[in-house]
Structure 1
Amino acid sequence: MSLYINRDTRLCMSLSARPGNFGTRFQNFLYEALGLNYVYKSFATRDLPAAIGGIRALGIRGCAISMPFKEAVIPLVDAVDASAAAIGSINTIVNDDGYLRAYNTDYIAVRKLIEQHGIAPDTRLALRGSGGMAKAVACAFRDAGFRHGHIVARNEATGRKLAEVSGFSWAADMSGLSAELLINVTPVGMEGGAEADEIAFDVRDVERARVVFDVVASPPETPVIRLARSLGKQAVTGAEVIVLQAVEQFVLYTGVRPDDDLIAQAAAHALS
């Protein structure tokens, strides 16, 4: 079946500094499989206010927001869902007749993964990163009952602020720290990036850990995830995050929730 575009087709999109193909392939697969008259396209921008104004003016139904816009976009929308407002970071905009409401489906995805992987709240964690995605991840762990751990960030101002919000401590690096759960929320290991071949944590830190969680989704197996698996550690991948958060975006845009089999098919297609 081919995807036909006509005057009634509803457009959804994404905004990112470095657009990828996952969202486009995932969303369009589901639109076609479910016979929905939607189309999805990714975009980059150097003018965020103009891009958001275009969403409003052109009636674009929904927009996924990626790095580095997850915090900067907040003043440009009309309302922010309560959980996203508490985090101070959003990744999804839904347009209802020119009224833009923002959400954070990254937070929803991480909460689900904590439960699915059976990670106990008494686990001591170290989360590397302090940007918009790090806020969503840290707050998801906070709200799941985690109380022991550190935000590891070279930027002291943002690191301390996130630590205060999430109830963890701040550290500039992993020196002297020992964590059962390591979480990478930085671009280290990201395909095409300057640190694509680097490991987000020191080998000794991974050896001491029990679970390694990397939110980087491309490649599906980052250097730190490959290392963790080679050492027999439990691994949680960015591919899992990106699928779950994309499902929630799809539901917000269309009002339709696909079944698990169709989601698995769309994920396999998008990640292939």
Structure 2
Amino acid sequence: MPRSINRDTQLCMSLSGRPGNFGTRFQNFLYEALDLNFVYKAFTTKDLPAAIAGIRALGIRGCAVSMPFKEACIPLVDEIDASAQAIASINTIVNDDGLLRAYNTDYIAIRKLIERYRISPDTRVVLRGSGGMAKAVACAFRDAGFMSGYVVARNEEAGRRLADICGYAWAADASGLNAELLVNVTPIGMEGGAEADTLAFSREEVEAARMVFDVVALPVLTPLVRLAQLLGKPVITGAEVIVLQAVEQFVLYTGVRPDDALIKRAAAQALA
């Protein structure tokens, strides 16, 4: 029987320029499975200050924040967690009786994956991308002690800016950089995108690397991931990132941490 919504139901939401379904499916699956009186809905807005004021005024428990609002939200909240301070970007707001605290669970997820895969800080990282998510990924590697890295970006100004923040170097392409870990944080390979069938790194670069990390979540098996697996390289997928960061949001909203088996079921349903 479907859960009923009542006056005590707590609302969580997302704000994105282009709302998707992953968060809605993932969070609502867990609310129902754990019999929590919560509901989750995706929104967009053309009036960000009013939207954030509405979260505070209406007692909305939590809000996931996606592009293009991650930096613009900063002056609109009351407190900023270290995870968001580290990269001057937020992706989660938690409302505690009108006090808005901001976090970045993307950053938290990347740090957890670095630990999970026991990636040595001595590893030479080549990261492609210079947007908001690239900043979260690059800063997570920086703060985990990775000193040797390159930011590869088509936009030289943005690429150099991110490289400078992390103490890395900028490069126009990845050839000749002798990457040990290749990280794609661009839309290359994304389902439905203009470069859905494109490799984020060349076959030669993948062959030379020890490990590949593709932050693109849909599809899970991007062209880069498929090639890396074909070549027998260890792989971290974007699905792992999106699930981990969503779990951390769920915990912040509800105070409940689901077990691994339930998280796996929620992820399968949300990514289907």
TM range (shorter): over 0.9
Deviating more after overlay: 83-92 vs 153-162: 153-162
SS of the counterpart of 1:151?
A: strand
Per-residue displacement from partner, 1:237-260 (whole Å, max 9, x unpaired)? Answer: 010001111111001001111122
The reply to whether residue 140 of structure 1 matches residue 140 of structure 2 is yes
Q: What is the identity, as a one-letter code, of the residue corresponding to 2:189?
A: G
Retained in 1: the 8 A contact 2:212–2:228?
yes
* Offset at residue 86 of structure 1 (A): 2.1
Q: Distance in 2 between matches of 1:50 and 1:192?
A: 32
User: Where does residue 163 of structure 2 map in the other structure?
Assistant: 163
* Offset at residue 103 of structure 1 (A): 0.2
- C-alpha RMSD of matched pairs (Å): 1.5
Q: Distance in 1 between matches of 2:227 and 2:18?
A: 26
Retained in 1: the 8 A contact 2:175–2:205?
no
Q: Distance in 2 between matches of 1:44 and 1:219?
A: 23
Retained in 2: the 8 A contact 1:229–1:235?
yes
Retained in 1: the 8 A contact 2:184–2:215?
yes
User: Where does residue 17 of structure 2 map in the other structure?
Assistant: 17
Q: Percent identity?
A: 76
User: Where does residue 181 of structure 1 map in the other structure?
Assistant: 181
SS of the counterpart of 2:258?
A: coil
Q: What is the identity, as a one-letter code, of the residue corresponding to 1:78?
A: D
Q: What is the identity, as a one-letter code, of the residue corresponding to 2:119?
A: I
Deviating more after overlay: 170-179 vs 204-213: 170-179
User: Where does residue 35 of structure 1 map in the other structure?
Assistant: 35
Q: Distance in 1 between matches of 2:232 and 2:67?
A: 31
* Offset at residue 162 of structure 1 (A): 1.5
Retained in 2: the 8 A contact 1:126–1:183?
yes
Q: Distance in 2 between matches of 1:50 and 1:218?
A: 31
SS of the counterpart of 1:126?
A: strand
User: Where does residue 120 of structure 2 map in the other structure?
Assistant: 120
Q: Distance in 2 between matches of 1:68 and 1:180?
A: 31
User: Where does residue 221 of structure 1 map in the other structure?
Assistant: 221
SS of the counterpart of 2:199?
A: coil
Q: What is the identity, as a one-letter code, of the residue corresponding to 2:157?
A: A
Retained in 2: the 8 A contact 1:11–1:38?
yes
- Structure 2 counterparts to residues 1-272 of structure 1, below 5 A: 1-272=1-272
Q: Distance in 2 between matches of 1:68 and 1:230?
A: 35
SS of the counterpart of 1:3?
A: coil
Count, aligned residues: 272
Q: TM-score, normalised by structure 2?
A: 0.95
SS of the counterpart of 1:112?
A: helix
Q: Distance in 2 between matches of 1:76 and 1:200?
A: 36
Distance 1:74 1:185, change over 3 A: same
Retained in 1: the 8 A contact 2:83–2:108?
no
Retained in 1: the 8 A contact 2:29–2:266?
yes
Q: Distance in 1 between matches of 2:208 and 2:66?
A: 32
Q: What is the identity, as a one-letter code, of the residue corresponding to 1:70?
A: K
Q: Distance in 2 between matches of 1:62 and 1:227?
A: 38
Retained in 2: the 8 A contact 1:89–1:133?
no
Q: Distance in 2 between matches of 1:271 and 1:3?
A: 22
Distance 1:144 1:12, change over 3 A: same
* Offset at residue 201 of structure 1 (A): 1.3
Query: Which structure 2 residue ranges, 5 or more long, are not aligned?
Result: none
* Offset at residue 168 of structure 1 (A): 1.3
Deviating more after overlay: 205-214 vs 239-248: 205-214
Q: Distance in 2 between matches of 1:137 and 1:205?
A: 20
* Offset at residue 193 of structure 1 (A): 2.1
SS of the counterpart of 1:87?
A: coil
Q: What is the identity, as a one-letter code, of the residue corresponding to 2:25?
A: R
* Offset at residue 195 of structure 1 (A): 2.1
